[in-house]
Amino acid sequence: MQDENKIIIALDMASEEEVMALLRLLDPASCRVKVGKELFTRCGPDLVRRIGGMGFDIFLDLKFHDIPHTVNKAVAAAAELGVWMLTLHAAGGADMLRAARAAIADAEHRPLLVAVTLLTSLGEDDLVVQGIQRSPLEQVQRLASLAQECDMDGVVCSAAEAADLRKLLRKDFLLVTPGIRPQGDPANDQKRIVTPAAAVQAGSDYLVIGRPITRARAPAERLLSIQREISGNG
């Protein structure tokens, strides 16, 4: 079934105070939040517990990529933290992905496991350097198929790839897309941006949105206007 709560706000902030100032303005019933490497490395699991305690679903974006045993233990630890979704690199291989799935097979709380295919910062030249003679899109398709075979719940991808992947993958396989900008917003450092409505039309299930909301003068109102755009009442 389609989840109406599609927006994941990227908490790309350097301190707990900044995070709390934003979260106090938001309703956990109308958005989810993403904790990435910077915030986690600064503030750690205590902040994750605190945000979870406020009722927010947390996407822990630490992109695990290691030997299967290590990833198995890291995923188990994230499940104990109560996160809603977490990321790992599909390039870690089938055994690593299956070890991640096994980690939560009997867990009380099972986070959604979402694989990163190819980082959008990498292009054709970077693949050649790694000895991969394929286009970035072919590589994304290959790794997304691997993620599906290894029982992941979805992949992170660019919204520009979403329509392609939607055709390739099973219907309920989740597509999580960053690089979203409402019409008229600055691109910042994003190169290929897609509007929220276009991302959903392309088949995206969850939209990761940072600065358009976190830097807005009125973040809650901005969130609401993006939600209206997505549901076609914009």
**What's the closest the beta carbon of residue 99 comes to ligand C5P, in angstroms?**
23
Query: 62 CB contacts (<8 Å, ≥6 apart)?
Result: 36, 37, 40, 74, 78, 86, 87
Q: Which of 34, 37, 63, 73 is catalytic?
A: 63
Quick note: the x/- pattern for ligand C5P over 122-151, rule CB under 6 A, is ------------------------------
Residue type, 105: A
179 binds ligand C5P (CB under 6 A): yes
Report d(CA 127, CA 24) in Å as an integer.
Answer: 43
Binding of ligand C5P by 209 (CB under 6 A): yes
211 binds ligand C5P (CB under 6 A): yes
- Catalytic: 63? yes
Kindly tell me which of 111 and 196 has the beta carbon lying closer to ligand C5P.
196
In the set 35, 100, 112, 208, which binds ligand C5P (CB under 6 A)?
A: 208
Closest distance between ligand C5P and the C-beta of residue 126, in Å?
Answer: 14
Residue 188 in contact with ligand C5P, rule: CB under 6 A: yes
Sign of torsion over alpha carbons 21, 26, 27, 33: negative
- Nearest distance, CB of residue 10 and ligand C5P, angstroms: 4
Residue position matching structure tokens 């993006």: 226
Which 8-state DSSP code applies to residue 90? Answer: G
Out of 52, 92, 111, 178, which residue is the one contacting ligand C5P (CB under 6 A)?
178
What minimum distance in Å lies between the beta carbon of 69 and ligand C5P? 26
CA atoms within 13 A on the CB side of 134: 11
Going by C-alpha positions, the residue among 87, 79, 89 that lies closest to residue 111 is 79
CB neighbour class for 100 (10 Å; exposed up to 12, middle 13-18, buried from 19): buried
Q: Regarding beta strands 32-35 and 112-116, do their DSSP bridges make them parallel or antiparallel, or are they unpaired?
A: unpaired
Return the residue of 190, 198, 201, 216 that touches ligand C5P, per CB under 6 A. 190
Residue nearest to ligand C5P (CB): 210
CB atoms inside a 10 Å sphere around CB 140: 22
Supply the residues annotated as catalytic. 63
Contacts to ligand C5P by CB under 6 A: 10, 12, 36, 120, 156, 178-179, 188, 190, 208-211
